[in-house]
Structure formats: structure tokens, C-alpha cells
Amino acid sequence: MSTNQTIKETIHANGIDISIYTKDIKTEYISLTDIARFRSIDPRFTIHSWLRSRDIVEFLGLWECLYNPDFKRTGFDTFKKDAGSNAYTFSIKEWNDQLHGIGILSKSGRYGGGIFAQADIALEFASWLSPEFKLYIVKDYQRLKTEENSRLSLNWNLNREISKINYKIHTDAIKDNLILPEITPKQESYIYANEADLLNVALFGETANL
């Protein structure tokens, strides 16, 4: 996931800043590394201790089966066979390379790097770490989503009002400059519709029919 394609946001849970990288609702990742700092000075060790559990590996596999159509289910049974044993180590790279997993990833970089997971998985980790801390995360995450929805609604309403104003200007211009006396009502209707589509593309990036 390239940083120049993502938006970084932060939620605040009981004094801990937790990074979120998002491009759209399907590719939003919460930092497990930041969550782990609530309990540990070595977040990576804490995360991999959690990933050693057979129950967690099965949870990750179920999540991928539900949300990832490219997940290699046939290879999953082989991947999890040693999960939970003393010698077992979960490899995020192998999970993603061999099974085409998308739920958890390791992001390199001195600043903003770490281990990230999609929201369902991140909250499962937070619950394992501390149910109380998970509630703080959920509270501020909901606050972030509410603010995002408000911004989207405001932008939509603003575009709608601009569209209404411009549409009146547009139709008046069509009437004064494009509607010739000799054209039929059907031709007039076609001209208005065609010009309206041009306006929709300019404002919203799509025609009214899409």
C-alpha cells in the first residue's frame, strides 16, 4: 500500500495515538503496532505472540474467506496446521504471498511503518490486549467515522446547490444561444438533455444516467 495513494488519519484512545491508513472503506488499515504500545515497549513481539494462537489464525482465515474473494482457501489448511504449537511463527509475508491475504500487512518505513490490519481484525487484537482499551478505540473510531460522514454529506449538499444554480444559468444560456426558432420540441428536448449531461460530468464526473 503506497503512502502517496493513502490518507493518514489518527484516532486517540486513552492517551494512545493510533494511525489509520485509508484509501476507501475496503482498504482501511488500523495500526496494530500503535495499539500494542498500550501494553508493551516491544509492540512487534506482542503482535506476533497474538498471531501464534490457533484461534486467531482461524479467525484471520474466516475473515479472509468472508471479505477476500482472492483468498486461497485450499492453502489455508496447510498454513494453519502448526498454529498454536511452541515452534509456530506466523509470517505476514507468507500469509499475503501464498494465500493472497489482505486483512493484515506489514508496512515498512521509519515513520508510519508497522503492522496494520483492517478494522475487524484490529479490534479483535485490541480485545485480546484489553477489553477496556478496545472500548476507547471504538469510541474514537466511531467519532472519526461520524465526522467523515458529515464531511461527505456537506460536500454532497454543496455540490447539489452549486449544480442547481449552474443548471439555471446553463439552461438560460441554452435557450438564448442554442434553441433556434425552427427546431422541433423533440430536438429542443435533446439539446437540453445533452447539455445537462455535460454539466453533470463537469461537477460530478458522471452523467445523470450512471
CB contact at 8 A, 16 and 38: yes
Instruction: List, for residues 125-137, the tens digit of each pLDDT value.
Output: 999 999 999 999 9
Cell reading at 50: 497474538
Q: Are 207 and 197 in contact (CB under 8 A)?
A: yes
Distance CA 165, CA 46 (A): 57
**Which helix (H) or strand (E) segment is 210 a member of?**
none
Give the alpha-carbon dihedral of 124, 127, 129, 135, to 10 degrees: 130
Q: Is the pLDDT of residue 4 over 50?
A: no
Half-sphere exposure in the Cβ direction for 123 (13 Å, CA): 12
Q: How far apart are CA 5 and CA 23, in angstroms?
A: 7
51 near 90, Cβ under 8 Å?
yes
- Condensed to tens digits (0 to 9), the pLDDT of residues 194-203 reads 666 665 555 5
C-alpha span between 106 and 22 (Å, rounded): 15
| pTM of the complete model beyond 0.95 | no
Between 51 and 153, name the one with better pLDDT: 51
Average pLDDT over residues 155-163: 53
Confidence of residue 1 (pLDDT cuts 50, 70, 90): very low
Task: Say how far apart CA 209 and CA 207 lie, in whole Å.
Answer: 5
> What is the pLDDT confidence band of residue 185, given thresholds at 50, 70 and 90?
low
* Cα gap 82→130, rounded to integer Å: 26
Measured distance CA(59)–CA(107) in Å, rounded: 22
CA distance 132 to 90: 26
Alpha helices, DSSP H, located in the chain: 32-36, 43-51, 54-67, 73-80, 92-99, 119-129, 131-177, 185-204
Ordered by start, the domain boundaries in the chain are: 3-129, 152-204
